[in-house]
Amino acid sequence: MTTLKDIAHLAGVSTATVSRVMNGKGEASPQTIQKIQKIIQQVNYHPNRTAKMLSAQKSNLIALLIPNLRNPFFSELVQQIEQAANRQGYQIYLCNSEDNRQKVEYYLETMQDNYVAGAIIDSLFVEQMDLDQLEQRHIPTVTIDRTHLKHPYAALNVDHLQGEYLATKSILQHQKQAQLVFLSGPVGEQSSQDRYQGYLKAIQEFGATSLGILYGDFTYESGYQQMTQFLQQHTDLQGVVCSNDAMAVGALRACQDHQLRIPQDLQLVGYDNTRLGKFTNPRLSTVQQFGINYFDLIIDELTKQQKQQYWLTPQFIARESTYGGKND
C-alpha cells in the first residue's frame, strides 16, 4: 500500500509537508505543491481512511441502526438515507440489528470505534441507556420513531395513532358497521401498538366491530400465514387493517385464496407506502409516513445539529384495495 511516507520519500520532503499539501493546510511553496501533487497523481495515492480516522478521531460515517432488512420499508429507508448522506459527503455505516439486542449492543459500541459523525436510530431494542451513552460520547443522534426515548438531539416522530385512524376510517366511511381485524407487528412493538389504538379509535367512532388482533413480523409470509389462519375461523370479515405494506400484501393473497374479492367483499389497507403498493392487484391503499424530502433533513440535523423535534403528519393514500380508491 502506498503511504504518506512513500510520497514524502519520493518528493524528498517530510510527511508533514505532504500531509499539509494534501489537505491544503499551512504554507507550502508552489514548487513543492506541484511536485507533490504530481507524484500523488502518478502513483495514484490516496490517504488511508483507517489511519485518518484514528488520527483525526472522526470519520465521514453516519451510523444507521435499523431492526432488519426484511421489511421493505427499511430497505427503502436505507436507500433513501444513503443517497441523502452521499450527497453531503457522508457514507453510511449500516447497522442491521436483525431484531436482536446483542447486535444492537455490538453496533452501539462499534459506532464509537468508527468515530461516526452521527447516528440515525430506528430500531426496537434501543433503550434510554443507549441514547444516554451516545450523548455522553457526543455522538449527534437522530431518532426516528422512538418517541418515548429522551435525548438532546433531533427526533422524527410519527403519529401512528393518527395514521392508522385515517386508514381505518377510510374503510369504515364506506361500510360503517364493518367487522375488522388488525394485523399487527410483533407483540410489544410500540409503533404497532400505537397503530392499534388508532384502529380502535376509528372503530369506536363508527360503532364498528373489531374481531381481534393478529401478530405478524412485518414480512409477506407472516401476513399470509396469519390471515390464512384467521380466515379458516371467520367468514364474517369486512376489512383488514395492516401494520405495514408487506404484511398487507401477504394478507391480500390469503384473502384472494379464500375467494374474497378486494375491495368488494373485503377492504384492506397497508402502511408505509412502499413502492410495491402501486403494483399489486388490486393496488394497495396505504399510509405515507414521510416524504422523500425528509431524508436530507435527517442528515442536516446530524451535521448541523439543529436539534429539532419533528412530528410528521401521516397521510392516507387511497388506492384500489379500499372503496373510494383511485389509480395513481
What is the per-residue burial (b if ≥16 Cβ within 10 Å, else e) of 22-54? Answer: beeeeebeeebeebbeebbeeeebebeeeeebe
Q: Which of 153, 206, 220, 316 binds a second copy (CB under 8 A)?
A: 220
Q: Which does 256 bind (CB under 5 to 8 A by kind): DNA, a second copy, none?
A: a second copy
CB under 7 A: which stretch of 28-36, 203-211, 220-228, 254-262 binds DNA? 28-36
Kindly list the distances between the CA atom of residue 313 and the CA atoms of 119, 152, 160, 293, 310, in Å, as whole numbers in the listed order.
Answer: 23, 22, 9, 14, 9
Considering the complex, state which of residue 163 and residue 250 has its C-beta at the smaller distance from a second copy. 250
Q: Which does 173 bind (CB under 5 to 8 A by kind): DNA, a second copy, none?
A: none
Give min distance, CB of 109 to DNA, in A: 11
Residue 110 interacts with a second copy (CB under 8 A): yes or no: yes
Residue 137 interacts with DNA (CB under 7 A): yes or no: no
Kindly list the distances between the CA atom of residue 117 and the CA atoms of 43, 48, 138, 304, 318, in Å, as whole numbers in the listed order.
Answer: 30, 18, 9, 11, 39
Considering the complex, state which of residue 43 and residue 129 has its C-beta at the smaller distance from DNA. 43
Residue 276 interacts with a second copy (CB under 8 A): yes or no: yes
* Residue spans of beta strands (DSSP E) within the chain: 61-66, 91-96, 118-121, 141-144, 154-158, 179-184, 209-215, 239-242, 267-269, 286-288, 309-312, 315-317
Residue 249 interacts with a second copy (CB under 8 A): yes or no: yes
Residue 303 interacts with DNA (CB under 7 A): yes or no: no
Which residues in this chain contact DNA in the complex, by CB under 7 A?
A: 1-5, 12-17, 19-20, 22-23, 25-32, 47-48, 50-52, 54-57
